[in-house]
Amino acid sequence: MGFFDRKAICGVCDQEVGLNRYKVKKSNAWICPKCLKEAGGLTVINVSKITVEEIKDILREKKIAEAERLSGDPMSTAEGMYEYCKTNNFGSGYNTKWALKHFGVIENNLMQGEKVLMTFIGLHNYVSTTKHDNFYGYAITNKRIIFAQKNVVGEKFKAVNHDKLNDVGFKKGIIYGIVTIDTLSEIFNVALDRGSAASINSHIHKVLDDVKALNVAPQPQVANTNTTTSAADEIKKYKELLDMEAITQEEFDMKKKELLGI
């Protein structure tokens, strides 16, 4: 089948593909843009030096790795964050495709050891129904509050550490519920449907309280050895005075009890 044939079959997914395709020369087969992208794209896959079976193996390994990651901590992935948001009705009116993109920005910017504890979606920097920064994905982690948006020209990302947070508040508007995130540098108003806004606000406080409780670990009790050492030194001095017959046995015993607190 030649390149200019209008239709061909992708050798990886067996789906029909048009002229927008790539030749896998060693297998004399075609690969569609979707399969090529999932395998790593042209920066990773050299279609002149790889076979269709090798591409399938790469995709198979990627799926296994993704399944293992999902089974370990689903909230470490954009898909897991989105499922949490959807399951808990934490936001509404958003588009699934773009919601995954917003959470994808968060996934790509998580720090080592950072765990996502809750997520939601809302209209960022809300002033009115016609004045806002459109939908953002939000995540509360064990370290920060994260705001992220993917758009047609790029992406936006901002994070505020918990110690820079003044308060999180909530008020009901005519159309939306507004969750206010008050930080040391600025205030963010997030508009959500009235039904979920109150529960999101409540859950944010619960998560932050849980994080605070975990971070406030009990301090180990350190024995005060100075008093004991000091008392022992004093008793030794009085014993020397007793041996020198400078004090009586009765005086030594009395002082010893005083120093030991008995």
Mean pLDDT score, 196-212:
91
pLDDT band at residue 237 under the 50/70/90 scheme: confident
Please check whether residues 173 and 46 belong to one and the same domain: no
**What is the rounded distance in angstroms from the CA atom of residue 258 to the CA atom of residue 226?**
16
Please check whether residues 185 and 208 belong to one and the same domain: yes
Which one is predicted more confidently, 99 or 261? 99
Domain range for 245 is 225-260
Number of domains in the chain: 3
Is residue 1 one of the residues assigned to a domain? Answer: no
The pLDDT of residue 227 is 47
The pLDDT of residue 69 is 59
Please check whether residues 137 and 170 belong to one and the same domain: yes
Is residue 104 one of the residues assigned to a domain? Answer: yes
Q: Residue 156 belongs to a domain with what CATH number? A: 2.30.29.30
Please check whether residues 43 and 171 belong to one and the same domain: no
pTM score, two decimals? 0.58
Please check whether residues 56 and 147 belong to one and the same domain: no
Please check whether residues 79 and 52 belong to one and the same domain: no
pLDDT, tens digit (0-9, with 9 covering 90-100), for 55-89: 999 888 877 766 655 556 788 899 999 999 999 99
Is residue 85 one of the residues assigned to a domain? Answer: yes
Looking at the chain, the whole-number percentage of residues with pLDDT higher than 90 is 53
Please check whether residues 64 and 186 belong to one and the same domain: no
